[in-house]
Amino acid sequence: MMITTTKRVYLSMLLGVVLAGGVFTQTPDPHELRIDQIVNKDYPNLKVYVSVEDESGDPLPTLVRGNFQARVDAQDPLERLRVESFRLTEEPVAYSVLLSVSGRLERALYYREEAILSIMDVMKDDDRLSVYTVGTEALPVFEYKTREEINTEAIRDISVTDDSPNLYDAITGVYMRKRNEALRHIDRKVIIVISDGRDANSRFDRDTLLRRAAEVNVPLYSLGVSVIGANLDRLNGLSDATGGSYQFVLQNQYDQIPARVRRMMQQIHHGYVLGFRVRGVPADDEYHQLMIGVTDREVELRSFKNFVARKVPFPFWLRIVIVCVAVVTILLLLVILFFYRRAERKKMGITKRKCPDCKRRMKDDWEFCPFCRYMPPKKKKRKDSTEG
């Protein structure tokens, strides 16, 4: 069959569109890089939790050390950059979940309970979970529980309330609880908020909340629930400012809440842990800027977050050295005392000979024990009874 020139032109144009479309879909889309959390308790050693995702929010699990760069204050003062996938570590996580329980969200309450149960499904033995409701403040349902310690009935007993949802106060209160002794051994901490974003009469404003968040450097993951009067931009802004992620569900689609929370858990567990030592930036208790960069094929990303170069009175390595020196010193003193007393006895002619009555050491040339002979009878009797 003959093909006319006009048809050839149309076929060429169609083929060009198809090829262009194929090339377009194969071009890497922009990814998202987030610095979730910076742990500075052993500064100048830093531990950084980083999330790298594609445009659909799915984690990229295949990056290696060569894909990452790190700088502090636009310099390159880092030593021994280490990169590790978080899911391959044994690090525990401390989760704090805040639930808005206003009457407008009554229909969504059941699915929020299911969302908490889905968090429990992926918790490890050393993880901790705290659940709060958002009222005039953060009201604890339970705090710092392992998976085995959680009573699921307490979750199902959560009910709606007419209290004003003071969202800023509740989140700020949870940030202040992050310094609790029960969580001191856990570096990775996450706050998850499920709310419509409304705030009635909070005493704390947004700036105060973000200052508290910067002090403990913990990300806020939020799930916006769309209802009449909702303020989802508030949640989106808080997550963006703290290094967390934001998702939402539409009104009358509340059955998607557990799936959205499971997606958050995937983002949290499929991130990366970066460790390095900072050189040239003193521990001055001032804020400094950390830059993390990722290069993967044609994609180049950067993310920035501030942290405090914390002055540590006794760095961890120095504490270990002090304890070791103290133990060695005590052992050395005991050894010296032992040999000194042994030498003194030897000078006096006292060896291993003992009195058969009082069991005290005697000189080899003594014909009788002076302790037994000259000790007053009452004192000697008391001594014998004590030794008996």
Going from N- to C-terminal start, the domains of the chain cover 35-312, 318-382
Over the stretch 259-318, which tens digit does the pLDDT of each residue have?
999 999 999 999 999 999 998 888 898 999 999 999 887 788 999 999 999 887 666 667
Are 323 and 337 contacting, i.e. CB atoms less than 8 angstroms apart?
Answer: no
Top-confidence residue, 135 or 195: 195
Are 64 and 188 contacting, i.e. CB atoms less than 8 angstroms apart?
Answer: no
* pLDDT band with cut points at 50, 70 and 90 for residue 386: low
Over the stretch 55-77, which tens digit does the pLDDT of each residue have?
777 888 889 998 999 999 977 65
Q: What is the pLDDT of residue 376?
A: 57
Q: Which CATH architecture best describes the domain 35-312?
A: 3-Layer(aba) Sandwich (3.40)
Measuring CA to CA, which residue among 53, 105, 370 is closest to residue 225?
Answer: 105
Measuring CA to CA, which residue among 218, 113, 196 is closest to residue 159?
Answer: 113
Top-confidence residue, 29 or 192: 192
Q: What is the pLDDT of residue 211?
A: 92
- Average pLDDT in the chain: 83
Q: How far apart are CA 74 and CA 71, in angstroms?
A: 6
Q: How far apart are CA 19 and CA 13, in angstroms?
A: 10
Q: How far apart are CA 289 and CA 308, in angstroms?
A: 9
Give percent helix, percent strand, percent coil of the chain, each to the nearest 5.
40, 30, 30
Q: How far apart are CA 68 and CA 82, in angstroms?
A: 10
Give 34's DSSP letter: E
Q: How far apart are CA 220 and CA 45, in angstroms?
A: 24
Q: What is the pLDDT of residue 373?
A: 65
- pLDDT of residue 354 exceeding 60, the answer is yes
Give 280's DSSP letter: S
Q: What is the pLDDT of residue 35?
A: 96
Map tokens 């309330």 to a residue. Answer: 161
Q: What is the pLDDT of residue 160?
A: 84
Q: What is the pLDDT of residue 121?
A: 92
Q: How far apart are CA 3 and CA 108, in angstroms?
A: 62
- Tokens found for residue 317: 């390595």
* pLDDT band with cut points at 50, 70 and 90 for residue 340: confident
Q: How far apart are CA 187 and CA 156, in angstroms?
A: 29
334-354 average pLDDT score? 76
Q: What is the pLDDT of residue 26?
A: 40
- Tokens found for residue 329: 């010193």
**Dihedral, 335, 341, 345, 351 alpha carbons, nearest 10:** -40
Q: Which amino acid is at 25?
A: T
- b/e code 299-324 from CB counts within 10 Å (16+ = b): bebebebebbbeeeeeeeeeeeeeee
